[in-house]
Amino acid sequence: MANIAVARIKREFKEVVKSEEVAKCHIKVELVDDSFTSLRGEILGPPDTPYEGGTFILDIRIPETYPFNPPKVQFLTKIWHPNISSVTGAICLDILKDQWAAAMTLRTVLLSLQALLAAPEPDDPQDAVVARQYKETSDIFSQTARHWASNYASAPHREPVMDDKVAQLKNMGFDEHKARVALSTHNWDIEQAMENILS
Amino acid sequence: MSATDSTAGASGSGGSTQGASGSSGDAPEQPDTSTYECNICLDTARDAVISHCGHLFCWPCLHQWLETRPNRQVCPVCKAGISKDKVIPLYGRGSTDQKDPRDKVPPRPQGLRTEPENNANFPGFGFGEGGFQFGIGAFPFGFFATTFNFNNGRPPPPGPGTQQHGEEQFLSKVFLWVAMMCVVWLLIS
């Protein structure tokens, strides 16, 4: 499969590795295998956001028609964000769909995703629950997003109150992640969250 | 393969030293070559074309891009409107192909050649100067033409009383007579 997709990914690798963002450890791309069609991306949570300091891993699949069609990207790290599914990690971003342009590269895609973390677009949501929380109770959204980033992306800033609530449910025998999802969905009301898990 | 190796090394260790040495090694040639790289395949552009917005592509690459999205044809770099007819082929001196570019699939659009502007005036044909026309055939067009003269851009007819006016009146009468005689001759014969 010595097609244009592979040739281009090889060239892009050189570009990403040399770029100054990599030097500052903001973005990173790695090979998963030798095929150049399955890659592993990494972005750093941008400063002054709930994701600050977190490391988010991305699964990047290069289609055979690349660069004429966009790469398929999704988050492997669990994240609480209006435009990213908290269940599957699927991303709602126009440049990964109809606004893709052939001159875009892995580097610009990763930088765009970093920008998406800094500027959510709640009117075009991927995760409706998160988007509603973002619009209605932005404080709780920020804390929840920070809590998720500290637990899944090893971001430094913790949310002790939320950690305690998750620990409470975990001690009662619930699965930690299910407890976290239920609490996040019900604005950290323990009783509602428990009802939700048991129903 | 060298790409793979250097990539794996740099990304694996996150090593700033390797990245730095790599970039410094390529630094002298980088600015020159990358200027003429196709924006799609990132290789040096072959069968180069340039969009009106100034972005360089290989023609096969751009053609495939336009084919991929026939309903939304935009420049892959700046998303300006673009189409097959609105790109200009670049013909470098050293890159003259032995093959006719039209034999290639897909054919590259032709360059647009406009003729240089011609500023020389047509030599004057001298018709109708002085508001004067001949009748052709049987009908005395001259009569109408001189009587109902709209005088577009030509010098005005001389005023009555001047010598030229007299001559014109005389000539007008002569031609009127000639026309009458033609009509009479046609009626008789």
Residue A102 to chain B, least CA–CA distance (Å): 5
Distance in angstroms (rounded) separating the CA atoms of residues A37 and A52: 30
Q: Which of A4, A34, A35, A58 is the mutation pick for testing B, counting most B CBs within 10 A?
A: A4
Which residues of A are annotated as catalytic? 92
Confidence of residue A167 (pLDDT cuts 50, 70, 90): very high
CATH superfamily of A3-118: Ubiquitin Conjugating Enzyme (3.10.110.10)
| Cα angle B138-B140-B145, degrees, rounded to a multiple of 5 | 145
Contact across the interface for A28 and B14, Cβ inside 8 Å: yes
- Provide the percentage of residues in chain B whose pLDDT is more than 90: 21
Give pLDDT tens digits for B140-163.
555 555 555 555 556 666 666 778
Measured between CA atoms, the residue of chain A closest to residue B30 is A15
Q: Are A92 and A125 in contact (CB under 8 A)?
A: yes
Q: Is the predicted pLDDT of residue B2 greater than 50, yes or no?
A: no
Q: What is the dihedral of CA B143, B147, B149, B155, to 10 degrees?
A: 100
Q: Quick one: which H or E segment has residue B58?
A: strand B56-58
Residue A156 to chain B, least CA–CA distance (Å): 21
List CB contacts of B16: < 8 A, sequence separation 6 or more: A23
Q: Which of B1, B6, B11 is the mutation pick for testing A, counting most A CBs within 10 A?
A: B11
Out of A16-30, A183-197, B53-67, which region has the weakest mean confidence (pLDDT)?
A: A16-30
Q: Is the predicted pLDDT of residue B75 greater than 60, yes or no?
A: yes
List CB contacts of A145: < 8 A, sequence separation 6 or more: A49, A50, A51, A79, A80, A81
Residue A59 to chain B, least CA–CA distance (Å): 16
Residue B81 to chain A, least CA–CA distance (Å): 13
Using CB atoms, which residue from A30, A34, A102 is nearest to B40?
A: A102
Nearest to A167 by CA among A154, A158, A157, A176: A176
Give pLDDT tens digits for A45-76.
999 999 999 999 999 999 999 999 999 999 99
Q: What is the pLDDT of residue B86?
A: 84
The model carries a pTM of 0.68
Give pLDDT tens digits for B87-121.
888 887 765 554 544 446 567 777 777 777 766 55
Chain B within 8 Å of A32 (Cβ-Cβ)? no
Please report, for chain B, the start and end positions of each structural domain, with discontinuous segments joined by +.
Answer: 37-89
Contact across the interface for A4 and B19, Cβ inside 8 Å: no
Tell me, what amino acid is at A13?
F
Contact across the interface for A13 and B64, Cβ inside 8 Å: no
Residue span(s) of chain A under CATH 3.10.110.10 come to: 3-118
Which residues of B are less than 8 Å from A67 in CB distance?
40-41
Confidence of residue B139 (pLDDT cuts 50, 70, 90): low
Task: Given CATH 3.30.40.10, say whether it is the number of domain B37-89.
Answer: yes
3-state secondary structure of A56: strand
Nearest to B130 by CA among B147, B111, B155: B155
3-state secondary structure of B111: coil
Q: Are A32 and A39 in contact (CB under 8 A)?
A: yes
Q: What is the pLDDT of residue B121?
A: 56
Chain B within 8 Å of A34 (Cβ-Cβ)? yes
